[in-house]
Amino acid sequence: MSLPTQILPEHHHHCDDLFVAAEDAVGRGDWAEAEAAFGRFEGQMKAHFDAEETLLFPSFEAATGMSDGPTRMMRYEHEQMRSLLAQLAAACTARDDDSYAGVAETLLMLIQQHNMKEENILYPMCEQALGARAEQLGNEIGSLLEGKHG
């Protein structure tokens, strides 16, 4: 059984590991590895946002009729994180470890707060609202994320 409440938190952890790998490379001053590691992290974060914004959120909104609630806030936070990811990419390109560290700290705090809201509030709401559709949606999300692991 593949449910969004299982797949998406696991993917959060996967993204966290990729984030740490990028930060470690920046800390060592290995900019070639930092850029590669950051690219993997950024790609997985964007895949995660895509899975939620194209599959999970619309399904939840259709099932509940609620489009101005928690999914709106999550989309807003995704936009904030996309902006921070762009700043991190620029810091990598400039090989600016101080800028990278400052933006990474901000992004880490936002990710932690965001993931807690999703895992403890939104995902369970989605699963309840989607009922029998939750497993099918979980499989679709899993396929989308698996396809973007490359």
On the 0-12 / 13-18 / 19+ scale of CB atoms within 10 A, 79 is: exposed
Listed residue (15, 39, 7) closest to 26, CA to CA: 39
SS (H, E, C) the chain: CCCHHHHHHHHHHHHHHHHHHHHHHHHHCCHHHHHHHHHHHHHHHHHHHHHHHHHHHHHHHHHHCCCCCHHHHHHHHHHHHHHHHHHHHHHHHHCCHHHHHHHHHHHHHHHHHHHHHHHHHHHHHHHHHHCCHHHHHHHHHHHHHHHCCC
83-96 burial, b at 16+ Cβ within 10 Å, e below that, comes to ebbebbbebbeeee
The pLDDT value given to residue 149? 57
The pLDDT value given to residue 132? 87
CB atoms within 10 A of CB 15: 20
Listed residue (129, 111, 3) closest to 69, CA to CA: 129
Written as tens digits, the pLDDT of the chain (150 aa) is 578 888 999 999 999 999 999 999 999 999 999 999 999 999 999 999 999 999 999 999 999 999 888 999 999 999 999 999 999 999 999 999 999 999 999 999 999 999 999 999 999 999 899 988 898 999 999 998 987 654
The pLDDT value given to residue 150? 46
| Rg, the chain, Cα only | 16
CB 141 within 8 A of CB 5: no
* Fold observed for domain 4-147: Four Helix Bundle (Hemerythrin (Met), subunit A) (1.20.120)
